[in-house]
Chain A
Amino acid sequence: MSDVTIPPSDSLAVLEKQRSTAETFGIPLAVLLEITHRCPLQCPYCSNPVELDRSAKELTTGEWKKVLSELAEIGVLQVHFSGGEPTARKDLVELVKHASDAGLYTNLITSAVLLTREKLGDLADAGLCHVQISFQGIEEGLADRVAGYKGGHRKKLEVAKWTRELDLPLTVNAVMHRQNLHQLPDIIQMALDLDADRLEVANVQYYGWALKNRAALMPTVAQLDECTRLVEEARERLKGRLTIDYVVPDYYALRPKKCMGGWGRQFFNISPAGKVLPCHAAESITGLAFESVRSNHSIAWIWQNSEAFNRYRGTGWMKEPCKSCEFREIDFGGCRCQAFALTGDAANTDPACALSPLHETIFKQAEREAEGETNRFLYRNFAGGTLESENDA
């Protein structure tokens, strides 16, 4: 039996048939649906774009239902209801029911703070298969400060308990950074105490909001080494009890990550306004036009033929040092969004790669920031961010 997973920051798993995916760009097995950008939390590392979609732009209930039916029809097997905060949409139960009826496996990726016991029960009855709850720390002082939301941590613990009482499997998602990595041993224990099946130890990936907050979030090399050691030890100790997925921050790697499994190869997501995107950060790359489910193209057509998906597919777009690199089909040059954010050209080598001329500079900068004392967050919101009060940092 084989199972395939890609890092949880990418929020899905795929069954990649060796070779065949590269040739045919078969429809992904799982699709991330960011049904709204609205969220009561203000996490400074939010993976949503800095330019958030306003609620007036969101797809309607009818439009999402049409999307769900179409996804099931073309061979998608799993959908992740995400956001923003997906429970901010009043029609979530209806959408989960529609997805389940269409035969889709449904995941809820939530901050949990808006859920009631009744609502969670309704979601379970609608066929919801799995709940993933994000945690910002182990105790409310730090956790609520990171989320910028008072009382959030306590509510999350409560919802996690309801989740298991309703016999739904639970994933604890813990986003890690310099200011909470010391809590990792307790976070692993918390996942066990909450009877979670899965724990994601996801170090922050530095795009969008997180890039703006890099100085406040970047871990030290020593912290990261300890984190890796703890995860490896826990994986061995908890085999069969708790699955742990682990994502490291790529700034400290020598080789870039195979971001999204390669651009347009295994993944797409749909934004609140209906854009079909190769990655949830893709809209940060200016100069790329993304097709919408509101266009007269089918989703399958957009996946196969749209300019944005084909721009960085395969290896034909590459420049040196990627072009002649022996790893070009292993990592596909890393992350296009990161290359764009740090070099101004998405076709450049991701600076996470040691072969990038910028790697050394960026690695050094990250190290310096990690050693710094800048702990103030720029909170995520529709106004372009709000700086944390100096007294709270």
Chain B
Amino acid sequence: MAGPRNISVSEASRPVLPRHAKLKYDETRKVWVILAPERVLAPDEIAVEVLQLCNGERNVGDVADQLAAKYAAPREAILADVIAMLQDLADKGFLTEIREKTS
């Protein structure tokens, strides 16, 4: 079955694009796109970078660490932006997350 619904993105989440949402570079239009059922999303550069880091292993905190280091920017501000962007994607149904086995 697919990932859980109603995801609430937090620093500890380990988000990943679900099988039906594909991040792809569109060679014809020279833009990144996310292909999803009946929709094409146009992520901005930062969103693309975040999504490329979201491999289901890193958590959101790790992603913020990497971006903060790369851009020498305040981690808290980056973390807030990353969470907002991923939550927007989750609300549209284009994000799933890997959860720890609890059993």
> Interface of A with B (CB < 8 Å)?
1-5, 8, 11-15, 26-27, 29-30, 74-75, 77-78, 103, 105, 107, 129-130, 132, 164-165, 167-169, 171, 195, 197-198, 239-243, 245
Contacts and interface: CB of A to CB of B under 8 A. Distances in A.
A218 B23 CA distance: 41
B55 to A, nearest CB: 18
Contacts, number: 100
Contacts of A15: 29, 33, 40, 42
A298 to B, nearest CB: 15
Contact of B37 (A74, A107, A164, A241): A107
A124 to B, nearest CB: 10
- Secondary structure at chain A's binding surface: helix, strand, loop or mixed? loop
B58 interface: no
Contacts of A132: 37
A167 B37 contact: no
Contacts of A78: 35, 40
A1 B44 contact: yes
Given A29-B33, A77-B26, A240-B6, 12 more contacts: A1-B47, A3-B40, A3-B42, A13-B38, A129-B20, A165-B1, A169-B2, A169-B18, A171-B38, A198-B38, A239-B91, A243-B92
Given A130-B20, A169-B19, A1 B41 contact: yes
B41 A77 contact: no
B22 interface: yes
A77 B2 contact: no
Listed from nearest, the 10 A-B pairs whose CB atoms lie closest are: A75-B28, A169-B20, A105-B35, A130-B37, A15-B40, A3-B41, A13-B39, A240-B91, A13-B38, A241-B5
A164 B1 CA distance: 6
Interface string B39-65: 111111001000000000000000000
A190 B61 CA distance: 38
B67 interface: no
24 contacts: A1-B47, A1-B88, A2-B41, A2-B42, A5-B39, A30-B38, A77-B33, A77-B35, A103-B24, A129-B19, A129-B35, A130-B20, A164-B2, A167-B19, A168-B20, A169-B19, A171-B37, A195-B1, A195-B2, A197-B20, A198-B38, A240-B5, A240-B7, A240-B92
B78 interface: no
A240 B93 contact: yes
A243 B93 contact: yes
B13 to A, nearest CB: 14
Given A2-B42, A12-B38, A245-B38, A197 B93 contact: yes
A13 B40 contact: yes
A4 B6 contact: no
Contacts of B7: 240
B4 to A, nearest CB: 10
Contacts of A5: 38-39
A77 B91 contact: no
Nearest to B35: A105
Contacts of B85: 1
